[in-house]
Structure 1
Amino acid sequence: MADLENTNLSAESNKDAKEDKLTVLIADDHELLSHALSSALNSYGIEAFTAKSFQEALLSIRKHKEFDMVLLDLQMPGMQGLQSIKAVVKAAGASKVVLFTGDVEPDFLQSALDANVWGLIPKTISLKSMVGVIKLISTGEVFLPTNASTSVIRSVEKKNVGDFTQDEFLVLGHAANGLTNKEIAFTIGTSESRVKMLMRSVCGKVGAKNRAHAAVLCRELGIL
């Protein structure tokens, strides 16, 4: 009986782990980039799939309804600007569609955001930062690079659900400035254990291994 119970618990645990695993479709015709990114994401526990054209991306989305996110290249075969973006967003349903491309004109980017795109990830971003960005978007944050136009960034700030709480931002800022947990606790008037709890939450949201890694990632992502 005990063995059977352990087996059932193990099966449930594996099922939960599978359900919690993020799934991402990389829609890009640059095969070397797609495969490198796919391998990197898989190594971080994110299940990645690839598509090389607009039509293939739509087919993958309609066939597999479980994608959490779709990374969409604007230059791959079959893409026709905003019309294609809207088609992917519609087909993706609850999946978060994110532009994965180079420079984009501010007006076009704003139109894409208005069409319910969850931001823009530049292809120049490092693979480690990419993982953090994907996890950040999965929590409900719209992401834009720091060089996006001021007007677009302001519109996104209004749209974002503000997944970081005020206390998390405070703790993150102090940690980035080199304060210890004890010093942060004294500065903001709370306990050291609560500071640790807030830092764990921050690390989880950006996919960081520790507080130092969180500070580096948040600087790269333009959060700090």
Structure 2
Amino acid sequence: MRKVPEFVTIKKNRTHRMKLLVVDDHLLFREGLRHILLRLDQTVDIHECGTVQDAIEIAKQITEFDLVLLDMQLPGLQGLEGLHALKGAFPTSPITLISGVADQRAIAEGIRSGAQGFVSKSGSAEDMLNGLRKVINGEHHIPPEISNSQGDGIRLDQTYHLTPRQIEVLAQLCEGHSNKEIGRTLCMSENTVRCHVASVFRALGAKSRTEAAILAKRKGLL
């Protein structure tokens, strides 16, 4: 019997309409995905394009999204090359890889190169939504059948990936600054800083600011 997936909710800490970007060249899939994504939030703004190059053009108008979904097999720039290009265009936006083929080696490389997670096109809508909610909340997401596999399986606790913005927050944290001081320095709200700090703690496995600072220096993150 199929295990009922855990229901994940999105943290209500944003002051703007949720913005998502879907980079996939299959129009029919994008149309179906749009209906699924509306279940995240009925007021979500969904932007779509078919290539990484088109996404880079979008970045000239919109520089930050709450989530970017990137198909791993696109015309033109694709795979790690496409991921690196998107991270350059949207440095503070979490990127989730999507594909109909669970290529463990490619997924592992993508996570190690900065993607926040992977969702399968062949999975259920609820599995996909739960995975995307985790990424929007600042967590990593890899389906259990991939993260628990052997060989090229992915151990999230060994990636320690942080977004550039989280690295900036971590650096301020290591200098002993409070959330209010970090927000003032980095021009962000205290609630946003609090979310970034929580994400840093989860990524490092830290339970306190002191422990996070020690682990960051030990792992060479700063």
- TM norm structure 1: 0.57
Q: Name segments (4+ residues, structure 1) moved above 6 Å.
A: none
Report how far residue 71 of structure 1 moved.
0.5
Report how far residue 100 of structure 1 moved.
0.7
Report how far residue 151 of structure 1 moved.
5.6
| 1:34 paired residue among 16, 30, 35 | 30
Taking only the aligned residue pairs, the percentage that are identical comes to 24
Q: Which amino acid aligns with 1:157?
A: D
Match of 1:198 in 2: none
Report how far residue 130 of structure 1 moved.
2.1
| 2:21 paired residue among 25, 29, 33 | 25
Cα shift readout 1:161-192 (whole Å, capped 9, x = no counterpart): 9xxxxxxxxxxxxxxxxxxxxxxxxxxxxxxx
Q: Which one scores higher on RCO, CA 8 angstroms, separation ≥ 6?
A: 2
Is the CA contact 1:142–1:160 (under 8 Å) kept in the aligned structure 2? no
How many residue pairs align between the two structures?
A: 146
Match of 1:102 in 2: 100
Match of 2:210 in 1: none
Which residues of structure 1 form unaligned runs of 5+? 1-15, 162-224
Give the alignment of 1:130-145 within 5 angstroms.
Answer: 130-145=128-143
Distance 2:16 2:96 in 1: 20
Match of 1:156 in 2: 156
Report how far residue 127 of structure 1 moved.
2.2
Cα shift readout 1:5-59 (whole Å, capped 9, x = no counterpart): xxxxxxxxxxx99834432111111111111211232243133211111211221
Larger Rg: 1
Give the alignment of 1:1-224 within 5 angstroms.
Answer: 19-45=15-41, 46-148=44-146, 149-150=149-150, 155-159=155-159
Distance 2:156 2:14 in 1: 31
Which residues of structure 2 form unaligned runs of 5+? 1-11, 162-222
